[in-house]
Structure 1
Amino acid sequence: MEAKQERVILVGVETEETWRNFGESMLELKGLTKTAKGTVCFSLIQKRPQVDRQTVIGKGKLAELRQLVEAHEADLVIFNHELSPRQSQLIQDQVEVPVIDRVQLILDIFAMRARSKEGKLQVELAQLEYLLPRLVGQGKNLSRLGGGIGTRGPGETKLETDRRHIRNRITGIKRELKEVAAHRERTRQKRQSQVFQIGLIGYTNAGKSTILNLLTSAATYEQDALFATLDPLTKQWCLPEGFQVTVTDTVGFIQDLPTQLIDAFHSTLEESRNMDLLLHVVDAASPDRQQQEATVMALMEELDFAHIPLLTVYNKADKLEGAQFVPTLFPNVLISAKSSRGKADLTEAIKLRLMEILEPYSLAVPQSEGKWLSRLKKETLLLSEEYQEDSQSYLVKGFVPEGASVVRKKEEP
């Protein structure tokens, strides 16, 4: 039997600093709440020059919020701002239902989505570090075993009484994550020496998992929901020419991604930093497309991804209405992952981008060297092979990743 959805009131303050993206941010908060299995019954919005230092919203609005909670029989209030421990406590004392903020909501969704051991550890670390300074007066909330949004993950342990236990747990998780990161680094180095790596990045819900499934037939979780993917997943993909590469799906970016998550998911994002090509997947039909693009590009800069070759994949072309689509990022390709032509269009665009970033080569491969020819097909983008009667060899032309030994000299397998 499915658990009853919690009734939620959202609260946002539009200030002189946030007015430009405020509408989109509130819509996103609504989407996040829905992803966390909550039902939004009211959105309370206030315009102020800046947020109130004590309670974010003014006293009058706080009294109105209390009345709204009673009138709508709300179970939870979610603020579209990061609340300090003091603010959280003052507001909660007034409204008499649990109060969480955008960061806790995102952490909660990540707790729902984590599948791998590393993913679960990273979520728990982020939640514990966020909750530690907020434990005073949280006993009532945290004792709601499995009590819904904001309490998933470690929220069900006796956090409010055992700070030392939490600090020890944080130290333990960091140690475990270091071991996992070291193992990941060893695996990556093994893989790096031979395989060209493509990474999928982009705003959450742009269609990255759909594209991974399209290219590799991987049965990954794809859903029209924010943060549908959390753990990075790598699958092999063979281009029509025979070139074998890997494609990695990653967690989606979002406006105001909590710093706790950037820190906690460092090793997950580390995976993307070592890619040879990034596919930046953009929801072409989103009304806030340019803002989403800017968010991803800024985060890429922050995470030191700017040096990696990029191809922007404008997805969801089937949802575009009216005027002709005008791209803002280059190079790019416009596709619909759901259409019959989607895979062919994307594959061709990736192939053209590979020809720009790889090194061209031309080789004569003796007829007797079948194994070498086979390796060239797998490890390079081989575009033509022509049999030369006089020399009894194949003249092969294509593009090769920088430093690949298969072209420099023939190596015995």
Structure 2
Amino acid sequence: MAEPIREELQVQHRTAVLVSVPDPTRKLGKERALDELKGLVKTAGVKVVGELVQLRGRPHPGTCLGKGKIEELKDLVDATGAELIIFDNNLTPSQGRHLELETKRIIVDRSELILDIFATHARSAEARLQVELAQLQYTRTRLKRMWTHLERIEGGIGASRGPGEKQIETDRRIIDQRIDELKLRLAEVEVRRERMVRQRESHSLVSVVGYTNAGKSTLMNALTGADVYVANQLFATLDTRTRKWTIPSWGELLLSDTVGFVRDLPHSLVASFKSTLEEARQADLLLHVVDASNPEAEQQAETVEQVLNEIGVEIRNYILVLNKVDAVQDRGVVDVLRAKYAHSVTVSALTGEGLDKLGLLVGELLGEGYVDAEVTTSAGNGKLFAFLAEHAEITDTQYVESTAILRCRISRNILWRVKGENTTVRVIDRPQPSFVN
């Protein structure tokens, strides 16, 4: 079962000072540099007692912060009595080690905090396996930092290595064995999930992706009437949920909600959650939900696209869903995003605004992936008739002696399964739809 990476790191109910050396390309002022980290620590159950931001070209290679800021940080933790120092940056093992020696406090970087949140929120067996794998891969490179209390102990006469080093080697072997075991188990899960997704070919699959807390679960509830868990916190849910959604312009389809993304997700976490995101890889259409009321909406949209590319999701049919328009204060952000994407729609999952328009656009884009086809086969080909009845919309059937000619509307993705011995398929061209925007 997934647990916090270090036993002493039980972040819930702890006090912390938050620290950031923000990326200058994000162009955030000091007043907003810690906004997202505050959301993460709130989700983790941490009480914030102090904040520190240093604007510099790049983090210091040895300690992330400059020398003067480290002294300021030491004064701050002493004054506030903070138990943890949580960085919005991903620290190298040596940076974390040096900072802990300087401040005499537990140092937590962004990746470790996110992994701790995922460990707390993992509910299904699959999510627990994925989080444990990510934790072990993260921990493996940081074993030396966790055994520094043994490095000062002499190894004894004739010993070339101290007990700290021996313990590191032992732990590394144990971790490697467990990583191999988890990878095998997750590979089996991925095969099962791929098979399960392929078995749903009788329904179109639409997958909801987006930044964490963009309102994906609220939108799914509004569209399907489902009771997906909703909370105003980051990473409230980690497991994929699939529900049926009926739209007038199309009919019944499957709507799948996925885990939310966030800036600088640990690479090990992204890799381990590939099987959970199989729904997104296999989807006929992606709904990319963006919190339009967030000043960083454009950067968050780019982050989601980067993660999708990283896990091998080919972005073809794609709708940008600008959610929470009821809370938008700057329409300029909405206009900029709509100008960048061919297909976008503004909605409020909370009030229902724009949901009908979203359904129309989904139907039109899904229709682009379908073709009208004329199938000519033997009149006794019952197996093919059954397949078409389940996977296509048959619009006309004619019989000429022992030959059957069927006209149907069918997905391009499964058209190849119709072709076979004594069967021919002719695609019938039709005018392209005009898209709603």
- TM bucket, shorter chain: 0.7 to 0.9
Quote the Cα distance in structure 1 between the aligned partners of 2:387 and 2:224. 21
Contact 2:246 2:253 (C-alpha < 8 Å) held by counterparts = yes
Q: Residue 231 of structure 2 corresponds to which residue in structure 1?
A: 223
Which of 398, 412, 415 lines up with 1:402 in the alignment? 412
Instruction: Give the direction of change, closer, same or farther, for the CA distance of 1:4–1:133 in structure 2 (3 Å limit).
Output: closer
1:301 counterpart = 2:313: no
% same residue: 38
Return the letter of the residue paired with 1:167: D
Q: Residue 337 of structure 1 corresponds to which residue in structure 2?
A: 349
Which of 95, 118, 123 lines up with 1:115 in the alignment? 123
Quote the Cα distance in structure 2 between the aligned partners of 1:85 and 1:243. 53
SS at match of 2:63: coil
Return the letter of the residue paired with 2:178: R
The alpha-carbon deviation at position 377 of structure 1 amounts to: 10
SS at match of 1:266: coil
Contact 2:274 2:311 (C-alpha < 8 Å) held by counterparts = no
Instruction: Give the direction of change, closer, same or farther, for the CA distance of 1:25–1:300 in structure 2 (3 Å limit).
Output: farther
Quote the Cα distance in structure 2 between the aligned partners of 1:306 and 1:257. 20
Which of 276, 280, 286 lines up with 2:288 in the alignment? 280
Return the letter of the residue paired with 2:363: K
Return the letter of the residue paired with 1:171: D
Quote the Cα distance in structure 2 between the aligned partners of 1:381 and 1:44. 61
SS at match of 1:47: coil
1:170 counterpart = 2:170: no
Quote the Cα distance in structure 2 between the aligned partners of 1:312 and 1:53. 38
The alpha-carbon deviation at position 277 of structure 1 amounts to: 0.5
The alpha-carbon deviation at position 283 of structure 1 amounts to: 0.9
- Which piece of structure 1 moves more, 126-135 or 162-171? 162-171
Instruction: Give the direction of change, closer, same or farther, for the CA distance of 1:167–1:304 in structure 2 (3 Å limit).
Output: closer
Instruction: Give the direction of change, closer, same or farther, for the CA distance of 1:137–1:292 in structure 2 (3 Å limit).
Output: closer
Quote the Cα distance in structure 1 between the aligned partners of 2:12 and 2:305. 38
Whichever of the two has the greater Rg, that structure is: 2
Contact 1:199 1:279 (C-alpha < 8 Å) held by counterparts = yes
Point out where structure 1 has 5 or more consecutive residues left out of the alignment: 142-157, 364-371, 387-395
Contact 2:20 2:33 (C-alpha < 8 Å) held by counterparts = no
1:264 counterpart = 2:277: no
Q: Residue 27 of structure 2 corresponds to which residue in structure 1?
A: 20
Quote the Cα distance in structure 2 between the aligned partners of 1:213 and 1:304. 28
The alpha-carbon deviation at position 163 of structure 1 amounts to: 3.1
- In the TM superposition, what are the counterparts of 1:83-162 in structure 2 within 5 Å? 83-138=91-146, 162=171
SS at match of 2:275: helix
Q: Residue 194 of structure 2 corresponds to which residue in structure 1?
A: 185
Contact 1:311 1:331 (C-alpha < 8 Å) held by counterparts = yes
**CA offsets 1:6-62 (integer angstroms, 9 cap, x no match):** 2111111246x5453576653111111111111222221112333222111122221
Instruction: Give the direction of change, closer, same or farther, for the CA distance of 1:51–1:101 in structure 2 (3 Å limit).
Output: same
Contact 2:271 2:311 (C-alpha < 8 Å) held by counterparts = no
The alpha-carbon deviation at position 185 of structure 1 amounts to: 2.1
The alpha-carbon deviation at position 321 of structure 1 amounts to: 2.8
The alpha-carbon deviation at position 273 of structure 1 amounts to: 0.9
SS at match of 1:330: coil
Instruction: Give the direction of change, closer, same or farther, for the CA distance of 1:241–1:297 in structure 2 (3 Å limit).
Output: closer
Q: Residue 346 of structure 1 corresponds to which residue in structure 2?
A: 358
Quote the Cα distance in structure 2 between the aligned partners of 1:408 and 1:85. 56
Quote the Cα distance in structure 2 between the aligned partners of 1:13 and 1:257. 17
1:212 counterpart = 2:220: yes
Return the letter of the residue paired with 2:182: I
RMSD: 3.5
Quote the Cα distance in structure 1 between the aligned partners of 2:390 and 2:410. 11
The alpha-carbon deviation at position 137 of structure 1 amounts to: 4.5
SS at match of 1:162: helix
Give the TM-score taking structure 2 as reference length.
0.75
The alpha-carbon deviation at position 257 of structure 1 amounts to: 2.0
Return the letter of the residue paired with 1:339: T
SS at match of 1:267: coil
Count of aligned pairs between the two proteins: 371
Instruction: Give the direction of change, closer, same or farther, for the CA distance of 1:380–1:175 in structure 2 (3 Å limit).
Output: same
- Which piece of structure 1 moves more, 210-219 or 330-339? 210-219
Q: Residue 429 of structure 2 corresponds to which residue in structure 1?
A: none
Instruction: Give the direction of change, closer, same or farther, for the CA distance of 1:118–1:334 in structure 2 (3 Å limit).
Output: same
The alpha-carbon deviation at position 317 of structure 1 amounts to: 1.4
Q: Residue 389 of structure 1 corresponds to which residue in structure 2?
A: none
Contact 2:93 2:145 (C-alpha < 8 Å) held by counterparts = no
Instruction: Give the direction of change, closer, same or farther, for the CA distance of 1:243–1:62 in structure 2 (3 Å limit).
Output: same
Quote the Cα distance in structure 2 between the aligned partners of 1:185 and 1:378. 20
The alpha-carbon deviation at position 400 of structure 1 amounts to: 3.9
Q: Residue 425 of structure 2 corresponds to which residue in structure 1?
A: none
SS at match of 1:246: strand
Return the letter of the residue paired with 1:185: E
Instruction: Give the direction of change, closer, same or farther, for the CA distance of 1:298–1:166 in structure 2 (3 Å limit).
Output: closer
Contact 1:236 1:247 (C-alpha < 8 Å) held by counterparts = yes
